[in-house]
Structure 1
Amino acid sequence: MQSRLAEVEAALDGHVHSRAAFVTEAARHLMEAGGKRFRPLLVLLAAETGDRADSADVITAACVVELTHLASLYHDDVMDEADLRRGADSANSRWDNLVAILTGDFLFSKSSELTADLGRDAVRIQAQTFTRLVEGQIMETVKPGDDEDPLDHYLDVVAGKTGSLIATSARYGARFGGATPEVEEALTAYGEIVGSAFQLSDDILDIASESRESGKTPGTDLREGVPTLPVLMARAAGRPGDARLIELLDSDLTDDQRHAEALDLLRKHPAMDEARRYVVARAAEAKARLEVLPAGAVRTALESFADIVATRST
């Protein structure tokens, strides 16, 4: 895996070059800041379930999903007005919104070019994935209807924004690694669940961790009024002692003092442990989808992958 990830890293470095030097610099900014390479790693792991794990198409597919993810981060940071990403200044903070948006567009276009090299089916899958990703982002800005459960609405958002691309990572790995259709479908379902759990785990870390640990400004979504798993569970708890927390959540949390108080109350709330239990249960559900695989190193690695997602927020 390490040697294959090194191939992906080298390929990514070549793919972010633009005719405009400032775009190359901006595109390299977040890539060189690190990141977990969660999606390329899943492509490579899923490819091990087939008989063509060393295919060049597997490396290309790993680059496609990572470039798509990186592109979405540049746009997300503009929408969130974020100052930090991966422990470094966000592109919009270091440069401006125009540079961040253009860089995101450039990375999306590069991922599309690479997808075309993988064939017509890959283009269709990528287009469907991108539609779900964008719809998830749109739905995040829309409040749930009066007859809609806020948590269900949010989980639908997460499935689109995060689960869809990670599901495609697993699908691409299985498909271009030569796995059977049965295994491809099982791993796609696994990826969707793991992907959602990954975002929900991030929700918990956003509140529980300091910026030096998470690489992001704590409570960014909270400040922007974006509902997340712990916030929604705290609201649903209906505890008499939560009046002050609910008051703060309904207020303008761009105020630093109110934001800090809300963070403190959330960190102490039982909803944090409830959210962690939910994520662990989702990881168990994902692992159950792996029953189509024979016992062995590949299945164990995929099970461990799900466990890491669940336990990083505990």
Structure 2
Amino acid sequence: MKPRTPVVRRSPSVTSQLGLSERIFATAADRGLAANIDQGIEEVEASLIAELVYANDIANATSRYLFNAGGKRVRPMLALLTAHLGDGAVPEVVTAAGAIELTHLASLYHDDVMDDADKRRGVPSAQAVWGNSIAILTGDLLFARASQLMARLGERAIRLQAATFERLVMGQFRETVGPRAEEDPVEHYIGVLGDKTGSLIAAAAQAGIVFSNAPAEYEQPVVSFGEKIGVAFQLIDDVLDLSPQPKETGKVPGTDLRAGVATLPLLRLRERARTNDADAALLARLERDVMASNSVATEAADSAITALREHPVTAETLAEAHSWARDAVAALSPLPTGPVKKALTRFADTIVERSS
């Protein structure tokens, strides 16, 4: 493994933020892994700060805006974890992890424009500050810089980035167009989540294997893990979208619904509304007061969102997220027993236990 330059640690550590706590990193080997991942995350962040420099002052400000607002760095964390099945967080893994985080960051700028979101990561969204055009251009710049980073790693990295980017766009395309008449709306939605969220998390896990020279037989298990935990991650977001705690989630309650996005609780409610008058009445309220008005501050909208949050379909969505997380952990069975597999399992638990 190539030596790495020591960096200053953040406090608290990334591993503690993501719940990879002392009960997982109990042995000396486990604690060594945790420290190595924290150092790797610091190296990823330092490299991104160096990359987010443009000739235009406005581009400099906008491209760093959401990066500086925070984020859990879930995708780099996953790449660094799986890399320890090979040579560890070598420079190639750090580069790939940074490119994947930039790709994720770029998608947030575009998503917020399409969803007309007011907040992201606890701050006003980029288009709320600079307008849609600047937000879109910032996302484009970040996608371009991510591609440049991957290009440094060769053809395999370029193909991984291109395939992942295509899935991200197709997922958004499918979400925007909606299901075909003969297509089950829930199955369509889960497919969208696989493309928009699962693909990038899977790419992070895959990059850790590929660029650390880990055994090739570990690649498909971690890809499957990433795809499934990505769906679980987004289903938890569907629940958090209804949360009455915007300070924790960084979003106005019902942001997705107000933007017209049919999340899983709403899709499950539509299924029930076919045979239940009370569910049909709630669905009508949501479509009239929340999804049609695209309002963020009406009493009727807030009341309808509260009713959906307290409805059994939201608890069912939470249960489905846990089911996807269990399937993700099961996909890891071919991996060797040890601190990496243990940490990935805890990673999955943390995804479905989060509150923001």
Q: How many angstroms apart in 2 are the aligned matches of 1:30 and 1:209? A: 23
Q: Does 1:5 align with 2:41?
A: yes
Matches within 5 A, 1:38-187: 38-50=74-86, 52-187=87-222
Aligned to 1:273: 315
Q: Does 1:310 align with 2:344?
A: no
**Equivalent of 1:23, from 59, 76, 80?**
59
Q: 5+ unaligned residues in a row in structure 1: which ranges?
A: none
Q: Which region of structure 1 is more displaced relative to structure 2, 243-252 or 274-283?
A: 243-252
User: In the TM superposition, what is the alpha-carbon distance from 1:209 to its structure 2 partner?
Assistant: 4.1
Aligned to 2:332: 290
Amino acid at match of 1:240: D
Q: TM-score, normalised by structure 1?
A: 0.96
Aligned to 2:284: 247
SS at match of 1:250: helix
Aligned to 2:24: none
SS at match of 2:333: helix
Count residues with an aligned counterpart.
313
Percent identical residues:
47
SS at match of 2:110: helix
Q: 5+ unaligned residues in a row in structure 2: which ranges?
A: 1-36
Amino acid at match of 1:13: I
**1:40 touches 1:65 (CA, 8 Å); kept in 2?**
yes
Q: How many angstroms apart in 2 are the aligned matches of 1:253 and 1:150? A: 23
**2:248 touches 2:355 (CA, 8 Å); kept in 1?**
no
User: In the TM superposition, what is the alpha-carbon distance from 1:295 to its structure 2 partner?
Assistant: 1.4
**1:225 touches 1:253 (CA, 8 Å); kept in 2?**
no
SS at match of 2:177: coil
User: Could you give the per-residue CA deviations for residues 237-268 of structure 1, whole angstroms, max 9, x where no partner exists?
Assistant: 24332132111233224242332122011011
Aligned to 2:69: 33
Amino acid at match of 1:305: F
- RMSD between superposed Cα atoms in Å: 1.3
User: In the TM superposition, what is the alpha-carbon distance from 1:294 to its structure 2 partner?
Assistant: 1.6
Aligned to 2:18: none
Q: How many angstroms apart in 2 are the aligned matches of 1:209 and 1:177? A: 42
Aligned to 1:260: 302
Greater helix content = 1
